[in-house]
Chain A
Amino acid sequence: MNAFLQLIFYFGVLLLLTKPLGAYMAKVYQDERVFLDPLAGRVERWLYRLSGIDSRSEMTWKTYAVAMLVFNILGLIAVYLLQRMQGTLPLNPQGLGAVSPDSAWNTAVSFASNTNWQGYGGETTMSYLTQMLGMTVQNFVSAATGMAVLVALIRGITRHTTKEIGNFWVDMTRSVLYILLPLSLILALALVSQGVVQTFSEFKLVTALQSGETQLIAVGPAASQVAIKQLGTNGGGFFNVNSAHPFENPTPFSNFLEMLSILILPAALCYTYGKMVGDTRQGWALLAVMTIVIVALLGVAIWSEQSGNPMFIAMGIDQVQTDTNPGGNMEGKEVRFGIVNSALWATVTTAASNGSVNSMHDSFMPLGGLVPMWLMQLGEIIYGGVGSGLYGMLAFVIIAVFVSGLMVGRTPEYLGKKIEAYEMKMASIVILIPVMVVLIGTAVSLMSEAGRETIFNPSAHGFSEVLYAFSSAGNNNGSAFAGLGANTPFYNIALGIAMFIARYWLAIPVLAIAGSLANKKKVPASAGTLPTHTPLFIAWVIGVITIVGALSFLPALALGPIVEHLMVLGK
């Protein structure tokens, strides 16, 4: 009962905020008046003047893609150099040295690509300067990149017979100034109020209460980074244990705020989409697809964790739920969050490409661990990353429209645009690439000595750990199952490559679709046109997503979590 109330409250608040925030973002991207104009507008114009950008000139999809790539690669290089040189740079009270080249590469790609896979432990590796100038800045701009690509795609759908899909610099700047910065500011302050630390001082040496021994407590400018890591579906924690750390996520309320901010932008962007294409039902339909899938999988996760672990029974561990005992499988979970909020976090963080954690996914029951893994393998489109989730979803919608459009006896069209060979090619690439990266990456790791060396549980579970790592990197999620020694040159380089491919080789074909759609004529709708907002279409899209996801990963999942689950049951 309590679980239900918490879930209803969570999704209720989320859906309540979707419309106002979504409408606001639509205004921002359509260059309409918003209340932040006097402040942000001034900064915006000043920035354009400073960098010599003509905000009214627009780009073709190719120019847009080049701008996006150049900007991201420059960011990647900057973060790499920052890590390598942090020993000689200021704001480093602990005197941390240079990060190893392979780890620095991995982290640089990870933050540029909005993955935020962390092969390192934050407080023991990165200086305050690296955290702020590297990680935090990338948290903003990588999220803004995703939003920009999405907005370009939406323009491709709404415009007709033009080659222009907007200006990357403008879309990115506006995403940061009007959306990400103000929201982060509010969230950071709220988190500080709950006890999330925000300081430049060095780590604190304190005397522990029980033993009287001293302990070094890590602190730092955490709140400002945590806010954007949640909002921008980044997920890279300030501390190693991410939002399980009491200074990163101290209270149930901070936990609620952080979970809410994971999904808020991806959800609101659906409304923005509907608003911008001139039919909000289209946006609600996609949000419905996402919500139905997440709620179903959330049910599996909570049920699986609450049912507990049969092996614990033999160990005499009490798994019965009472008023004072959360019951179920509490291994690897924080007592202050319990089963529901741990399973909920695990589900939303992998549904969106966030990847922050408040519990140990490796300790979940096999099916409880399957849920986050499969959510990532679906392509990070169930909410997904800010911007990237919706554009990935739209690639699936294009595939779904293609097949169902044929079934109503017309060559397929979506929102008045014909879906033809070129769109199919690009949409297929968007769906194909993550699948290939995950499956091939896992296979290479299992076949190579370097890959197998650091699998600490060589079993079906060890297989799951490798599969999870590549599912996370290959879909730009960034969450870790752990249990796998991933901070090795092999995994740093391999996962870095996976993250790079998964981000940019998807964004480019999406922009290509935008360019191609923008160039087409608009077909007016008629009774013969397939409606794309009905419950039937929603069900069909869910069907396509789950079938593609299941067909691509069922064999792999069978050898990992599924057989593990059967083993636990059959014990």
Chain B
Amino acid sequence: MTTKKTARREMYQRAVLDSFIKLNPRWMVRNPVMFVVEVGSVLTTLLWIQALLGQGEAPAGFIGAIALWLWFTVLFANFSEAVAEGRGKAQAESLRKARQDTPAKKVSSKVSTFERENVETEIVSSTSLRKDDLYLVKAGDILPADGEIVVGIASVDESAVTGESAPVVREAGGDRSAVTGGTRLLSDWLIIRVSADPGQGFLDRMISMVEGAKRQKTPNEIALNILLAGFTIIFLVVCATLLPYSIYSVEASGSGTPITITVLIALLVCLIPTTIGGLLSAIGIAGMDRMIQRNVIAMSGRAVEAAGDVDVLLLDKTGTITLGNRQAVEFIPVNGINAHELAEAAQLASLADETPEGRSIVVLAKEKFGLRGHTVDGMHFIPFTAQTRMSGVNFNGTQIRKGAPDTMMGLIQSNGNGVASDLKPTVDSIARAGGTPLVVTRDNKALGVIHLKDIVKGGMKERFAQLRKMGIKTVMITGDNPLTAAAIAAEAGVDDFLAQATPEAKLKLIREYQTGGRLVAMTGDGTNDAPALAQADVAVAMNTGTQPAREAANMVDLDSNPTKLIEIVEIGKQLLMTRGALTTFSLANDVSKYFAIIPAAFASTYPQLNALNIMRLATPESAIMSAVIFNALIIIALIPLALRGVPYRAVGAAQLLRDNLLIYGLGGLLVPFIGIKVIDMLLVALILGGSNATSVELSR
């Protein structure tokens, strides 16, 4: 607990330091709005020095105070960015520890699959491993580089990357053959082919993404920056032309003095969108960070942004929509057998069946008929094989079998028995309902059918309804036949489904949606998913997936939880909403600042303008100071919102807009009136005290 606290303190200290380092103009110029503020700070500081030398355009104290608060404005903006980066840096630090230079057992000769762990190796540094090199790891070793398993099967501790402490099994071939450098082998041995050169491995990419070192502005961020730059130019012109206007007005009215440069700069900084300008990059970094907190590594900020735009979600049925396995839900006897008898036979046939389906049959028989399956001596279990395609049990000369309808009917007929007339209709009706029928026979005669069913995960229907409200279409992808698929799709409440899906069909479907202008998101883990992942706009690979899948995707889910796609979409939307909300807030703020500064700036020329001083700010100086201070403080006040993001609720666009406009538009209009007034009252109380009452009186 205390270490966490100190880590936090260290992070903030680091952020404070960083906010000063970021004052470097070469860094600041990336952000046009804040760069203008920095230039303004420098100019007012120079004016302050001039005033100290006795030739100031205004009292040195006033110019100095403005300069100070302008510097604060810049620093606060830098601080927001530094804090956002700080969170990632801490994560990167722990990742970096995992990526230390480790000795590697490089395989010196060519390896064939027959070779064993005693292959000839030489010890080299992990940094000298290149792509396509082979290396050997044994239990207890740290894996020196990312790679693909060539030979072997072993359990691996991937907690350094995923934070998940339970070991995972990795083996050559298939969809679990990718390993990550920095993880630790717990058992056995592996021969691995290196898949990335040093510095380009998965961990390296993760570190650079997390740190934000390679952070490039995303397309939408660039567009928003252009808008903000546009506003900045407008206000530059507004403020620059105000000087000649003021000079002319002084001449025409014959009273007062022209507006000072200090006040013009103060006005400029108050008007340009510093709130959003200062927080923009923090918002982007925080978006990535929120992904990381949910154990998703986005390979680019662009992908996070695209997630908010997704119109179509392709979701694998198994594991995402349904529980991984089918379960027995009903025993339907045929040929006059009673259900109890069928259940008993089915249970006996499944006692040794350790598959989830098999276990569910045992459980159902127990629940429905109170049958406690127990093994009897002399029972001989027949396991499922690819050749027989059925399993069962022999005891006391009785043969019980269960299997797919086609296989079982073949078995019945080949033994010269007739197929019961009600068997086929029963099988068909289960298939039509989206279930999987399993036929049970005793001594090659049908007893009945077990109804196996996909179980839709709890809460999915509500989730999909929410997505529909958000305008997102859900498509279920399954290898099942169309009948089964349709039934499950209807039960789960998805909008559409792709049955008998092949990798090609998936790719084609994605292309079709994209041609129609839609953005498609999908998850995948297998190598055969890679083309579809590469095609999809938002592609989330499971961390347990193969290397090609992880390469093709633009996000990796370390938890390998396919349901997370929905959260990813929400994070993307939140990121965009936060930008929009703060832009609106920032611009709406300006109205009140005019009411504070305009009457103050021209008080000496046109005292009548004090009618616009609707906040009744005490003096021209306090009015201008209050606006500048409010402008700086609001950045600090909104840092938590920028980091956390505007809360997202799954409602339609129209309602979202109404709510956000009300909060950030109307709020942005009103809040500064109150804030500036309060600061003005504080300033009067703290500095002017009661002694300067005459100047208060004068400005009224």
Contact B602 A424 (CB under 8 A): no
Query: A528 and B470 in contact (CB under 8 A), knowing A408-B577, A421-B223, A556-B245?
Result: yes
Report A136 CB to chain B, min CB distance, Å: 37
Q: Which of B7-15, B360-368, B448-456, B650-658 contacts A (4 or more CB under 8 A)?
A: B650-658
**Cα–Cα, bound, A419→B309 (Å):** 13
CB of B261 within 8 A of chain A? Answer: no
Contact A536 B654 (CB under 8 A): yes
Contact A408 B227 (CB under 8 A): no
- Nearest 4 A/B pairs, CB to CB: A528-B471, A406-B580, A409-B573, A428-B230
Report A489 CB to chain B, min CB distance, Å: 21
CB of B464 within 8 A of chain A? Answer: no
CB of A38 within 8 A of chain B? Answer: no
Contact A406 B577 (CB under 8 A): yes
**Cα–Cα, bound, A222→B334 (Å):** 100
User: B239: nearest residue on chain A (CB-CB)?
Assistant: A555
Instruction: Given A424-B223, A527-B470, A563-B606, output 5 extra A-B contacts at Cβ < 8 Å.
Output: A409-B576, A409-B656, A435-B237, A559-B249, A566-B608
Q: Mark interface residues in B584-613 (1 if CB within 8 Å of A CB, else 0).
A: 100110110010001000100010110110
Which positions in A face B, CB cutoff 8 Å? Answer: 399, 402-411, 416, 419-421, 423-425, 428-429, 431-432, 435-436, 439-440, 442-444, 446-447, 452, 458-460, 462-463, 521-524, 526-531, 534, 536-537, 540, 543, 547-548, 550-552, 554-556, 558-559, 562-563, 566-567, 570
Chain B residues with CB under 8 A of A458: 251-252
Q: Which of B249, B308, B309, B653 contacts A463 (CB 8 A)?
A: B249
CB of B241 within 8 A of chain A? Answer: yes
Contact A524 B309 (CB under 8 A): no
CB of B246 within 8 A of chain A? Answer: yes
**Cα–Cα, bound, A570→B576 (Å):** 49
User: A570: nearest residue on chain B (CB-CB)?
Assistant: B608
Contact A411 B471 (CB under 8 A): no
Query: A522 and B237 in contact (CB under 8 A), knowing A527-B471, A540-B661?
Result: no
**Cα–Cα, bound, A39→B682 (Å):** 77
User: B248: nearest residue on chain A (CB-CB)?
Assistant: A446
**Cα–Cα, bound, A428→B226 (Å):** 8
**Cα–Cα, bound, A462→B235 (Å):** 24
Chain A residues with CB under 8 A of B238: 435, 439, 551-552, 555-556
Contact B271 A551 (CB under 8 A): yes
With an 8 Å Cβ cutoff, the count of chain B residues facing the other chain is 75
Contact A527 B653 (CB under 8 A): yes
Report A431 CB to chain B, min CB distance, Å: 7
Q: Which of B249, B584, B654 contacts A531 (CB 8 A)?
A: B654
CB of B305 within 8 A of chain A? Answer: yes
User: A448: nearest residue on chain B (CB-CB)?
Assistant: B244
**Cα–Cα, bound, A431→B229 (Å):** 12
Report B151 CB to chain A, min CB distance, Å: 47
Contact A409 B308 (CB under 8 A): yes
Contact A558 B609 (CB under 8 A): yes
Q: Mark interface residues in B448-475 (1 if CB within 8 Å of A CB, else 0).
A: 0000000000000000000011111100
Tell which of B242, B311, B606, B653 has the most Cβ of chain A within 10 Å: B653
Query: A431 and B609 in contact (CB under 8 A), knowing A406-B576, A531-B654?
Result: no
CB of B665 within 8 A of chain A? Answer: yes
Contact B573 A558 (CB under 8 A): no
User: B583: nearest residue on chain A (CB-CB)?
Assistant: A403
CB of B233 within 8 A of chain A? Answer: yes
Contact B608 A527 (CB under 8 A): no
Report B276 CB to chain A, min CB distance, Å: 10
Contact A409 B219 (CB under 8 A): no
**Cα–Cα, bound, A233→B606 (Å):** 37
**Cα–Cα, bound, A399→B222 (Å):** 14
CB of B416 within 8 A of chain A? Answer: no
Report A497 CB to chain B, min CB distance, Å: 16
Query: A459 and B583 in contact (CB under 8 A), knowing A399-B227, A566-B609?
Result: no
**Cα–Cα, bound, A391→B614 (Å):** 37
